[in-house]
Amino acid sequence: MHNLSPKSYRLPLQNKLVGLSVMIIIGIVAFVLFFYHSFSTSLEEEKKAQSKNFIESALGIIQHFHQLELSEKLTTADAQKMAMQTLESATYGDDGYFWINDNEGKILIQPYMPNLVGLNMTDWADSDGKYIFKEFDREARNGGGWVSYTWPKLNTTEEFPKISYVAHYPAWDWLVGTGLYLDDMKSNIFWAVLRTSGILLFGFLIFIFTIILIINYFVHQLSELSVRDSLTDLYTKRFLKEISPALLNHNKLTDYHLTAIFIDLDHFKSVNDVHGHDNGDKVLKKVAKIMRQNAKQNHYCMRYGGEEFVLIGFFESEMAAVDMAEMIRHQVSEVSFVNDDNEYRVTLSAGIALHNSHTDDSFDKTLKRADVKLYEAKTAGRNRVII
């Protein structure tokens, strides 16, 4: 038989914790997506800013050699030649470089494609039909700016989308630029963001997972306290109401009989009156212990109220339920309690009802029928089990 273990049953508060965990995970995913978008945008702007700064540095190098020309330490040709040589060797990153065109569109330096040096690109158009030099010239003379176009990568003839920042050096009438291939930039940004967000997400998940474990532990403890009787450590009447739907559903899937055993201690009031409530509590604890010791995995022992107990479980037959109740009754009757050298014993009566899915539309009706059988046991002389 498949058992419905108490450990497999989640209390409403624990279900809420599961819902909270799902919401946290959704929040984490939303945060990562937002972080990725924000961080990737920031990195893209940063890379553009770096390219612009590189051009400003290149203009500073050109200006340095121009000053040498003005101070007549170098001729114009030598100053320009040395400036071009310096920028031609000033590569950066994986494939970053500077290029220079003169005012007529002729390529002065192109480190990765030296075969283009000396060619006039005034009438050059990229794969989209854009006249590249004319775009460079317009943006550069307007104070510098970005131009989008397509251009081959190193050792390839295929053109890829690219953006270049271009600036104008008026004294020599040069156009100076450097660019970024969009696919490379996006790939670099993707992996940079992935590494950063991965580290953050991993740390965040560990933190959240730890918090959830801690919360779940305390929720479990609180849940147990809310459905456990503090004196006997048995389940309470509240727990019975919460688990009844699960019991009824499970009852449809098994050939065993869902059964309620209603137990009541005989003349328990006299125990409290004669021996005191402390001794009465000891009796209740002992009865609860005997119930737990005899209960199976698919049984629930509950303190229903006062000296009333209920054992709910699945039994193979009526006789199996009777045997269980009789065993508990017999063991309780055999226990000897002592108070101030006065020995006393207690007995119990029990009523049993098997749930009938055809006539019992709720488990409350089964409990009421078990309570009626308990009353019959009381009126029949107590210390007995009736089904």
Q: Is 125 exposed, middle or buried (0-12, 13-18, 19+ CB in 10 A)?
A: middle
Among 224, 221, 241, 91, residue whose Cα is nearest residue 154: 91
Which tokens go with 375?
């009353």
What residues are labeled active site?
A: 307
Bridge-based pairing of strands 257-265 and 159-169 is unpaired
Take residue 258 and report the two structure tokens written for it. 């869902």
Give the C-alpha separation, 166 to 148, whole Å: 11
CB 347, CB 332: distance < 8 Å: yes
The helix (run of H) or strand (run of E) holding residue 148 is strand 145-152
C-alpha 239/C-alpha 230 separation (Å) is 14
Backbone phi, psi, residue 352, to 5°: -120, 135
Backbone angles phi, psi at 337, to 5 degrees: -105, 150
Measured distance CA(216)–CA(16) in Å, rounded: 10
